[in-house]
Structure 1
Amino acid sequence: MDEAMDNLLDLPSMVDKYHSLMPLEEMQSASDEVPSAALGVRSTVLKGINMDDGGAYALRRIDGRQVLPTGELLGSSNSTMHRWGKVQHPGIVPLRRVFVSRDLEESSALYFAYEYVAAAVTVESAYLSPSPGTSPAQTQLSCSEALLWSFACQLTSVLRALHTSGLAAYPGALHPSKVLLISRSRIALGSGGLPQILAREDGSTTDTSHQLPVLMGGDLAAAGLLLLTLACGPGCSMPSLSLMARHYSADMVQLVGTLLEAGTPGGIREVGEVMHLLADHLMVEMDQVHLYSDAVQRELSKEVENGRLLRLLIKLGQINERPDLDRDASWSETGDRYLLKLFRDWVFHRSTDTGTPDLEWGNIVEALNKLDAGVPEKILLMSRDEMSMLVVSYRDLKRCMETVYSELQMKAQTQAQQAQAQAQQAHGPQPGMHTGHHRR
């Protein structure tokens, strides 16, 4: 906790146009030049809020002492960002901006602003970092085979989208510390495009037709290494297929072995070959996606209904028991407003036959839905003193509510215009305005 607080105190109030900075990983000291295992250079990740759009972004800073932020590098970085921006894929966190700033550590450095994914963690921290007091053997099977098949399908889909667009992910983007776990079973590349930029500091922005097949093979091998590392689990310094075979099926071991040999003589070279090996599991993955989509649609439909009823409740709340309007203290107690007040009591203040409050939500939802639809069904409303009873339909009540609410809106608009006119009179005519006749 003390170390985290120290990191916050060391941060500036702004970096370029980003404020409310917060470290997303343990920050290194300025004197520590240990490079990232994935990127080969020292980097820092911060969360910042963009003052232009109010959005949250993950800002990855590349140490300016290890990578000099030249104009050529900035230009090639922006070109690569635009190329990656054309690949719209749920497994790639979008890179939105590249800029240079010297607000942190008082030295110019290159920054990459990615969309911030709330609650995301790296697969390294989720599956490869043993929990305190837990032995590696106890946490070795934290990544189940079903989950590993899902990860394999997702990685294949990402690489297919990149390779068909003439791009390569580069092994650094497939390192466990750069792949994000964005939900219970979904992963995404969190540093897409960055390894390519760092690997091409000469200013070139595209890979040649000769290089691309080699890079594609490297991507497949890196995906295989990622799956192997996850399968062997935390505490395993030397992941191997033999160790993996103790806990996973022969089909999974064969897939990983095939990926590891990608790009070598006799090995696979294209992502399409991997898709043939994953055919059955791709179908399972698609079924799971549709099931999840159906569940989300059901929840969304509930929220739509909730929003519709909320609008009704707000309108009724602004009409009922209003102290006064136009200096009429009995405004909400007369005419259509009185009917709406009795309806409110009938819906929310019911009692059972024994006199206890009726707290059944179903009756309330049913009554509000009928009011919203304006059905012709009639109900009996009783005054609070039980001296009078009124028979009225939901259709009539809906008409009353719309009429009264329109009255409120018109009154609010009129008062706002009057207040604006009074303010203009109080401040006098504005400069440049003609207030009288011109003298001849």
Structure 2
Amino acid sequence: MQTINQAIPTTTYNPYLEENQITPNAATYFQTQAAFVGPAQPLQYHLYAPIGAHRQDLLAYQRHTHDFFMPNDLREDLQKKSEAARQVMPNSQLPAVEHYHTLVPLDTSHQKSATVFGFPSWVYKAVSSKNGLTYVLRRIEGFRLSNANAVQSAKNWKRVDNAGVVSVIDAFTTRAFGDSSLIFVYNYYPQSKTIVEAHFTNTNRYGNRIATAVVSEQILWGYVVQLANAVKSIHAANLAARCMDPSKVIVTDKNRIRLNACSIFDVIHFEADRPVAELQQEDFISFGKLILAIATNNIGLASGSTPLRGSLESLKRNYSVEFRDTVEWLLTPAQVPGTKDLNEFIRGISGQIMTSYDNSLHANDTIIGTLSQELENGRLFRLIAKLGTINERPEYEGDVKWSEVGERYILKLFRDYVFHQVNAEGKPVVDLAHVLGCMNKLDAGVGERIKLVSRDDQDCMVVSYKELKKQVDAAFGELLKPGGKRY
């Protein structure tokens, strides 16, 4: 009897808990298996109905179903960004840093790299406990701050408010990682890629690099215009970018790039105290190397490990003379004692700036049009939500038949008329056009009359959408009235 009592667990066994321990005697009845790991639950993008081919024979008043919603690729892109912004790492051992918590590594490589900054750097996504927003923390590992004013130099970057520069939020030192680390805080752009990931990481199944298609000149001109805009704003603030490495320039949307990791060199090399004018002249050369590296698909050009002259000559095969001259102007140092002026550069590419500006206006029109569609969908959802709070309500203020009498009963019949119609064979009729038409007429309160029939065919009435709208407002207003007994 004593042996039996020892075999009985002291607590109630819950099969849904991962930490349950099966007794040694009972383990022989089960197959050996690995510890259960809860699978991630990503959004089920594939469950959305695919969009078919566009028919060209539709009349002017006819519409496709997907004409009422945002484009499928835009919806999926926004959902992926939302999922990435809320992604967490279970059982994370990463510490909280100042008021930033829930750190998630964003580095795609686990190997330390000190190529760009001279110190190993790591990138994390974190949530601020002050405002609940998500930010990027860039950690410079093993950096010992010798001058307190160095961190203050990063605060100067708060003056730079430009769409082509990732905003610098804060900079501070910490020992939360067990060493002396320097932390830079930036705005977070979900699902962003670096220029390296976007243009230089095409490999085959064996890990070898494969030839990639030549980047179109239109895309490169877009990059040039965006970078020129960013550098102009930086130079106007009496600062220098100092970091245009392909691994530090990010692509946040289609052909949309931003300068990232700004202000880091200002802190790390604070003691050097180099003149800002000299650093600004170096920005032009770094600018040209970056564009040349993308155009020739040679990442070594950006770091200076590959000669530039032969690469410049190769631009003639795929790009216009104007583009080649622009890159050459950026790479050519100014004649001493003269200096290059970004305003001169902008005047030289003014034609391409107008083209890029025109493209941005078209993109803005597309976004506004898509937003207007979702505005109408939101309007109809609010109306359907009102009906949902009224129909089939179990009771209200002690009246169990509140939703089955008076004007609420008519709204119940209207709900069946809109959503529960059947054909002559008794099969459900799923017609989105019918639903949208009825809800829009109800929202507008038109005078059109419809016949509503109860499910048992005992009640039949003819009402207008105008009357139905008044009944919806009256019933919903009754639910919102103050006071009264609530259950």
Q: CA separation in 2, counterparts of 1:242 and 1:10? A: 51
Q: CA separation in 1, counterparts of 2:446 and 2:260? A: 53
SS in 1 for 2:211: helix
The 5-angstrom pairing of residues 1-40 of structure 1 reads: 11-26=93-108, 35-37=114-116, 39-40=117-118
Q: Is contact 2:144-2:180 (8 Å) kept?
A: no
Q: Is contact 1:25-1:44 (8 Å) kept?
A: yes
Q: CA separation in 2, counterparts of 1:201 and 1:225? A: 27
Match of 2:134 in 1: 56
Match of 2:230 in 1: 158
Deviations 1:165-214 (A, max 9, x none): 322212x2x11111101112000011122222323247x7xx8xxx3433
SS in 1 for 2:114: coil
Q: Is contact 1:218-1:263 (8 Å) kept?
A: no
Match of 1:93 in 2: 166
Q: Is contact 1:179-1:189 (8 Å) kept?
A: yes
Deviation at 1:277, TM superposition (A): 2.3
Alpha-carbon distance change, 234 to 129 in structure 1, aligned in 2, over 3 angstroms: farther
Match of 2:64 in 1: none
Match of 1:269 in 2: 340
Aligned length: 391
The 5-angstrom pairing of residues 10-409 of structure 1 reads: 11-26=93-108, 35-37=114-116, 39-64=117-142, 66-68=143-145, 70-74=147-151, 76-77=152-153, 80-81=154-155, 83-104=156-177, 106-133=178-205, 136=209, 138-139=211-212, 141=214, 143-170=215-242, 172=243, 174-201=244-271, 211-234=275-298, 238=306, 240-265=311-336, 269-352=340-423, 355-409=426-480
Q: Is contact 1:370-1:394 (8 Å) kept?
A: yes
Q: CA separation in 1, counterparts of 2:159 and 2:441? A: 48
**TM-score under structure 2 normalisation?**
0.74
Q: CA separation in 2, counterparts of 1:386 and 1:403? A: 26
SS in 1 for 2:359: helix
SS in 2 for 1:15: coil
Deviations 1:301-326 (A, max 9, x none): 01111111111111111110112223
Alpha-carbon distance change, 262 to 414 in structure 1, aligned in 2, over 3 angstroms: farther
Gaps of at least 5 residues in structure 1 are 1-6, 420-440
Deviates more, 1:324-333 or 1:118-127: 324-333
Q: CA separation in 2, counterparts of 1:10 and 1:324? A: 47
Q: CA separation in 1, counterparts of 2:213 and 2:318? A: 9
Alpha-carbon distance change, 140 to 385 in structure 1, aligned in 2, over 3 angstroms: closer
Q: CA separation in 1, counterparts of 2:146 and 2:418? A: 67
Deviation at 1:396, TM superposition (A): 1.6
**TM-score under structure 1 normalisation?**
0.81
Deviation at 1:268, TM superposition (A): 6.5
Counterpart AA for 1:323? P
SS in 2 for 1:227: helix
Q: CA separation in 2, counterparts of 1:8 and 1:263? A: 53
Deviation at 1:128, TM superposition (A): 2.0
More helix by share: 1
